[in-house]
Amino acid sequence: MNGVGPAHDSAPKSETQLSSFSNTIFTDQSFNNAKLLNHHQFALMQHTIIMTKVKEQAHVEP
């Protein structure tokens, strides 16, 4: 057990694989919109969506 498993091995290694991988995360419409952005804008958008969800969860009153 060296800690390197399928999840690590299947990480996207090219733009084509990245697009395929991202397509499983976004809905068809939002992914089609995202394809119009360049790689850096797309990565920033993913980060922003994730951080927004984290903040929403963090601000829920107990």
Which helix or strand (DSSP H or E) is residue 36 part of? Answer: none
Residue of 25, 61, 62 lying closest to 45 (CA atoms): 25
Quote the CA–CA distance of 32 and 24 in Å, as a whole number.
12
Q: Residue for token digits 């498993």?
A: 5
Task: Please give the pLDDT value at position 59.
Answer: 74
The predicted-structure confidence for 1-57, as pLDDT tens digits, reads as follows 455 544 444 555 555 665 665 555 556 666 666 666 666 677 888 888 888 888 888
pLDDT of residue 17: 60
What pLDDT was estimated at residue 20?
Answer: 61
Q: What is the pLDDT of residue 8?
A: 46
Query: Domains of the chain: which residue ranges?
Result: 27-62
Model confidence, pTM: 0.29
